[in-house]
Amino acid sequence: MSIDRGQKIDLLPIAVRDRTFHWGERTYLMGILNVTPDSFSDGGLFNRPESALAQAHYLVRCGADILDIGGQSTRPGAAEISPEEELNRVLPVIEAIRRELPVPISVDTTKAAIAYASVKAGADIINDISGATFDPEMLPTVAELGVPIVLMHMRGTPQTMQTMTDYQDLIGESYQFLQARVEAAIASGIDKSRIILDPGIGFAKTYDQNLEILRRLSEFRSLGCPILVGVSRKSFIGRIVNQTDPQARVWGTAGACASAIASGADILRIHDVPEMRDVCLVADAIFRHCG
């Protein structure tokens, strides 16, 4: 499909908790806090409320603008857990963080019931890797709650997605999917200013396709929503830098993050907040004329 890459759309700021997000002025950091035993990079490190709370304080102190809490691993092949187990993982952490920190909290879930309970416990944003396609109640629930939602592009499920990478037009098909999800969200009563889009790096994408998305990221800006990019420690970076240990992919991640900022990413979802904060400060000074 033909996409007008030159189209510039001014985005309305949104206020969440103690801060207002002025899109385009700087890059915002979403710090990852997985409270799981099996996430690909940090599984088992923060799956107790005490360790998760300590990590939350650390991420905020280092510059995280949002904390993204996930109780269900979405790595390729990850087993799905019950809603009860997911709630048992995320709610104590949300409640503990909310008692001590004013930072916006995002919950990484595809289940409307988890989204609802999480917001009632103190969360502020829903981050749905399925683009709100797994649970038909997700969009109406988010509309009722009146919170922002991140809609990501993917195919299949974490169990099947890496077998579903055959695209005729990767960018065009991803764009059309996200456009349809924006329209569905608006039809459900979600204000467009509360919709954030994620092209889904690593989700039903091959190594070459991940690179193509980063090269052509600016084409998604004409959808008129802030763009979130999640490249942190992912396997395509490991392939480039010949590093099998995800935690040793920090500077490879930095290169991908700088590329995303140059193409107009508004939020970076990352593990290594202090290092990526410096990347953002420098890349914003160059590409956004900040600082």
Cβ-contact 29, 66 below 8 angstroms? yes
- Contacts within 8 Å (CB) and 24+ apart, 222-225: 222/3, 222/4, 222/5, 222/7, 222/9, 223/175, 223/178, 223/179, 223/182, 223/197, 224/9, 224/11, 224/182, 224/192, 225/11, 225/182, 225/192, 225/195, 225/196, 225/197
Active-site positions? 234, 269
Give the whole-angstrom CA distance, residue 33 versus residue 271. 8
> Which pair of tokens denotes residue 102?
């004013």
